[in-house]
Structure 1
Amino acid sequence: MRNQGGRREGAGRPKGSNQYGEPTRPVRLPISQVERVLRFVREREHELPLYACGVSAGFPSPADDYAEGALDLNAHLVRQPAATFFARARGDSMIGAGIHDGDLLVVDRSLTAEDGKVVVVSINGELTVKRMRREKGVTWLVPENPDYPSIQFQEQDEAHLWGVVTNVIHSL
């Protein structure tokens, strides 16, 4: 009878022979997170340094030469990961709110849409980002550019709130 299974001398890859040059260990992951973890490893994501001193937007000041710590942008931009998504802004109707064409919007579905908040709404099948205004029982979506009209919700409108914009990321 042959001996099957179990540990065999010289079998398997030598320890540390992988692309990272170090031993590995098995880890159990939820199937929904496997691709995310693999992407993290492939792209070698890491935290970025955060310097403790502020950067003067007025007159220059001497910089302190030390880092406060590491910065994880997810920790600063995403409050509720399960309820957060990203969307790309199109157009210039929200330029007065600092939202430019092509900006990345961080949108939180768990937040309550209140008067004055910037929201992403689907109205009659079209997505838009506007500032919500409520006045005397009437809800408006107000652009931050005088070249565009405000949108008043009508009874026949099919409107769905997608979420509240919490942050905007744009290139200079």
Structure 2
Amino acid sequence: MTAMTYREAMREAIRTTMQADERVFLMGEDVGRYGGCFGVSLGLLEEFGRERVRDTPLSESVFVGAGIGAALGGMRPIVEIMTVNFSLLALDQILNNAATLRHMSGGQFGVPLVIRMTTGGGRQLAAQHSHSLEGWYAHIPGLRVVAPATVADARGMLATALDDPTRY
């Protein structure tokens, strides 16, 4: 029996959640036809269609903002940013909207949004693709950061994040 890879574990958590809840959809750069960053979403476009697996333009601020709007409208988006470096282009959306809306509304609005991104220098992709900002994001009130150490953790932590009832 072949061991499951990180990408397979992440894909399985996304697939299982999408099968269980039709409000869940995936959006981001190249998540459809290309299969996402490191092939995590391979096959999901064929399984769930273009309405639920959406390729976006290279505009992190726009598609993170669209994910926030969809979450406020009752959907449960998974927004994929290729690498943590590019999340800085959506910093205002992440910090001043997604992280704060629940508190700013006195608990009236939740943002059931998962932002998935790759972090660290493991692939040695040079200065622009190797930052490790997860520790910085972990200090932002309203955000939860998950950084799995094992394949089982990767699947379980993403599944838990996607199913977290406090995201509402």
Superposition TM-score tier, normalisation by shorter sequence: under 0.3
Give the helix-richer structure, 1 or 2. Answer: 2
Task: Please tell me whether Structure 1 or Structure 2 has the larger radius of gyration of its CA atoms.
Answer: 1
Higher strand fraction (1 or 2): 1
Per the normalisation by structure 1, the TM-score is 0.22
Higher RCO structure (Cα 8 Å, ≥6 apart): 2
